Amino acid sequence: MIASARAFWRWLTSMRTALLLLFLLAVAAIPGSLLPQRNLNPERVNQYLRDHPDLGPWLDRLWGFSVYSSPWFSAIYLLLFTSLVGCLLPRLAQHVRALRAVPPDAPKRLDRLPQHASGLAADGAPAAVAEAVAATLRKRRWRVAVREHADGVTVAAEKGYLKETGNLLFHFSLLALLVGVAAGSWYGWEGNRIVVAGPDHGFCSSIPQFDESALGARVGAEDLPPFCLQLDGFDVEYLDSGQPVSFAAHATYTEGLSGAPRQATFSVNDPLRLDGANVYLFGHGYAVIVRYTDRYGVSQTTVAPFLVDDDFLTSHGLAAFPDANIDPTGKAPRSDRAQTAFSCVYLPTVPSDVTLARSAHPAEKNPALMCSAYQGDIGLDTGRAQSVYELDRRQIDSGQLSQVGPETKLAPGESWTLPDGSTMTFLGTRKWAALSVRYDPGQQTVLAGSVVMLAGLLISLTGRRRRAWARVVPDEDGRSLISLGGLPRTEQPSFAVEFSQLVSVIEENHGRTVRPAADVDDPGVRPGNAGVRG
Amino acid sequence: MWTILGYALAMLGYAAEYAFSSNGVVARVAAAPRRELVTASVGGGPERVHDPLWDDPDGLSSPVADVGTAPSPAGGKGQRAAIFGKIGVALTAVAALAHGGALVTRGLAAERVPWGNMYEFVLAACFVGIVSWLVMLALRPAVRLLGLFVALAQVLLLGFALLVLHTQVAPLAPALNSYWLKIHVSAAALSSGILLMAFIPSALFLARDGWDRGKRSFPYTLGRRLPAADSLERLAFRVTVFGFPIWTFAIICGAIWAEAAWGRYWGWDPKETWSFISWVIYAGYLHARATPSVRRTTATWIGVLAWATMVINLYVINFVAVGMHSYAGVE
Ligand code: HEM
């Protein structure tokens, strides 16, 4: 039992398993990019489910529409991170030990190393020469140990510990990333809403005031920071082609329970950053202002945000008056043709070819509202969810709601009198902005983690661990002979050059005469750096 | 566009060199004694290391005329091949100038950085590719032998860009008008270009390696005249090591930009997802290469796969998936 647990742990923390899990993670990420995902696009998920009545529910059961929060995706990355921890802790311990340890003593035969040089003579006793060589190495930031032996003195040096430090930093910051992401999903929240410009359409940060909201697992409605915001105006600049060039939302907001109102302008790419939440601009459109004067002469005005249909802001929506046509004196009985709604399409710029019901430009160059009027029961009491942009077709199909009069086109300011004598007037438009208010407390951690990760990666990829040794032995004349050897611990083509520079420096500083170079054809010289890869 | 024609002509030059080169660089590379790779000696400075593809005195910084120091070519045939190759290089350089010119004029016409839509992105990434190729060439003249494949890749990528992706000059959508765009997209183009230059030697390594192991069917026959397998592999590795951090940086910048533009730094949008997939597979490649028990061929296949995911991200995802990165601007 324990043995097999051990074996499993060994398997889990091996490089091959890490490799396998990395692969699995990559493969597991694919379906989420092919299938629509609930968190990104719930409407397309529903569409998919409607289009694939057989396959859809199965995919749904397998978390196919929420891949990145699915148990199997989580299982893979949690295993990977477990493997990572299991891999890193021993490596960290080993690295700490290596940082404290002295470099290992020189091998018996330096001439078997991939890099070596011999025949350097120096004045002085071996101990003094070795000390001087060690000093030179230290100055070049090698970690050095000098050892005395019966036959001479060895200097062992090692350099490039930073590589492993970088590697550990890189992998540990991956863990930091995971922590940041988790914090964000537990303690973060978001709320979206459409805000029409004007002081009468402001909103405050409470859940019911958002059109939709999502709270992290550890967030309650009472945790949202209090603030209120109103949209004062919204500027867009367009090219003649209709492509927008810039957006700017002007807002007044108050923070806290008793903050002073403050003004701000924010935009796409430039959110409004509040204390404890950011406000992002996601979209914009027109809200249509319609006044309806009913049979009894009672007027009501509504400001209805219209849903955008295309890049040129062709929009559709509904101006509904559920409380219209009720006799204010209470004498006349309530008519079953009382509730009135206008289902309209708004074109900011009517095209020159008027048969097209599509706007020709997103700015209001030649605006028109095309409406169909309906009277009857809008269906608010049916208990069914109602769209605020479209009439419930079932009410129309069942005859409870019917069209009155022809479809009518109105310019701003124009009125239209319905058969029953009531009138509607298209007063104009206001802008609306789609805002998303979000808070992600893990963001800073993730950012810091990725910066450290990149730094660690660079250090790790550019670092080179290598060792060098010198052996100083006395010669017959009471002077010293130095031989040197070098071992790159990872593949590093530049080591040969570094080593020969080192040799020249030692030669310059301490050497006296140079014997003929080591013979490259010496059979003792092993070709290849086969033993030191990886 | 003239640039493509230039690369196509350059390709002819390289092809000629490739065809005539049985006595050329390749043969010498293959013949270069391995022993010379590892020796250094006192006094005479470093021994010339005869690995023409990977003669690396100090990282990427100092050029060494390795071809010149190799044994001289066997005869006129080799020299003729070399001349064709040099013509190829000259044509590549001219084409690269035209390529750079096209980017600059596009930038001037649009009054912004010239990588605001997919067409321009491919153009920019290919430009980075060709410039890194020319840099590699300046540092190690022997890589010239890969020129045929580099030029081929350029012709294919640019040809596709011109025929399918071409869009009129237009200013950026406001969502793209951020300085993070400039950083993020430049880093992405830079790393894509560099990783393309890692992919080419990787693929060629696989061909050469297959040839060495006795495979004689089509793609492997390309390997016959290529430089030694392990120098190709090392080249691919070094270039990947250079490109991977830039790719990492590109993703991080993308996340910072996404936070400002979309309110979240990461949302598993298809483009983000595939960037993640490529990143993870490149990390897998680095792991595989650091694991002694994994063969170099296997590691290289992983590298090739990683490149394939980059290509999928650029070409397939822009067309197929509906994401927030819908700026590709393909008509
Ligand atoms: C979360 C997933 C992981 C990612 C994204 C990742 C990424 C990377 C990258 C990019 C490198 C190359 C840096 C370098 O060469 O120094 C690397 C190296 C390394 N990784 Fe990971 N890694 C992950 C998990 C793991 C795990 C689970 C292990 C242990 C089993 C591990 C062990 C190593 C080791 C030992 C190296 C150094 C290789 C060398 O000596 O050059 N990694 N990793």
pLDDT at position A516 is 39
Given the structure tokens 């890099």, which residue do they identify?
A115
DSSP per-residue codes, B59-111:
TT-----HHHHSPPPSSHHHHHHHHHHHHHHHHHHHHHHHHHHHHHHHHHHHT
pLDDT at position A83 is 92
- With cut-offs at 50, 70 and 90, classify the pLDDT of residue B331: very low
A303, A201 contact by CB (below 8 A): yes
Within the 452-471 window of chain A, which residues sit less than 8 Å (CB to CB) from chain B? 453-454, 457-458, 461
pLDDT at position A533 is 30
Higher pLDDT, A271 or B18: A271
How many angstroms does the Cα of residue B297 sit away from the middle of ligand 1?
19
pLDDT at position B16 is 57
Tell me the pLDDT of chain B averaged across its residues: 71
Count Cα neighbours of A372 within 13 Å in the Cβ-side half-sphere.
9
Asked if the model's pLDDT at residue B39 lies above 60, the reply is no
Atom 28 of ligand 1: nearest residue by CA position: A84
B120, B114 contact by CB (below 8 A): yes
B245 vs A190, A269, A454: nearest CB: A454
Asked if the model's pLDDT at residue B27 lies above 70, the reply is no
For helices B179-212 and B296-311, what crossing angle results, to 10°? Answer: 140
Given the structure tokens 């090219």, which residue do they identify?
A239
pLDDT above 70 covers a percentage of chain B that reads 63
Asked if the model's pLDDT at residue B174 lies above 70, the reply is no
pLDDT at position B61 is 30
pLDDT at position A443 is 92
Q: Which atom of ligand 1 is nearest to the CA of A88?
A: 29
Mean pLDDT of B239-252: 94
Neighbours of B13 (CB within 10 A): 23
Asked if the model's pLDDT at residue B12 lies above 90, the reply is no
Higher pLDDT, B7 or B32: B7
Which numeric CATH code is attached to A105-159+466-533? Answer: 3.30.310
Asked if the model's pLDDT at residue B23 lies above 70, the reply is no
| ipTM of the complex in this document | 0.84
Q: Retrieve residue A290's tokens.
A: 């319609």
Kindly give the parts of chain A with pLDDT less than 50: 513-534
Given the structure tokens 């009491």, which residue do they identify?
A381
Radius of gyration in angstroms for the set of CA atoms belonging to chain A, rounded to a whole number: 38
Handedness of CA B217, B220, B223, B228 (dihedral sign): negative
Higher pLDDT, A416 or B88: A416
> How close, in Å, is residue B39 to chain A by CA atoms?
6
Q: Which atom of ligand 1 is nearest to the CA of A174?
A: 1
How far is residue A323's CA from residue A298's CA, in Å, rounded to a whole number? Answer: 10
Residue A277's closest CA among A211, A195, A235, A215? Answer: A215
Are B173 and A34 within 8 A, CB to CB?
no
Asked if the model's pLDDT at residue B67 lies above 80, the reply is no
Domain ranges of chain A: 2-98, 105-159+466-533, 174-284+436-454, 285-432
pLDDT above 90 covers a percentage of chain A that reads 47
pTM exceeds 0.80 for this model: yes
Are B321 and A461 within 8 A, CB to CB?
no
Within the 301-360 window of chain A, which residues sit less than 8 Å (CB to CB) from chain B? none
List for chain A the helix, strand, coil content (%; round to 5).
35, 35, 35
pLDDT at position B46 is 34
Residue B56's closest CA among B144, B140, B142, B141? Answer: B140
pLDDT at position B164 is 67
CA nearest to B234 within chain A:
A491
pLDDT at position B33 is 33
For residue B312, the 8-state DSSP code is I
Considering only A319-333, A471-485, B20-34, B316-330, which range has the smallest mean pLDDT?
B20-34
Q: Name all residues whose Cβ lies below 6 A of ligand 1.
A: A 13-15, 18, 22, 80, 83-84, 87, 167, 171, 174, 457, 460-461; B 283, 286-287, 290
Residue B287's closest CA among B213, B252, B227, B237? Answer: B237
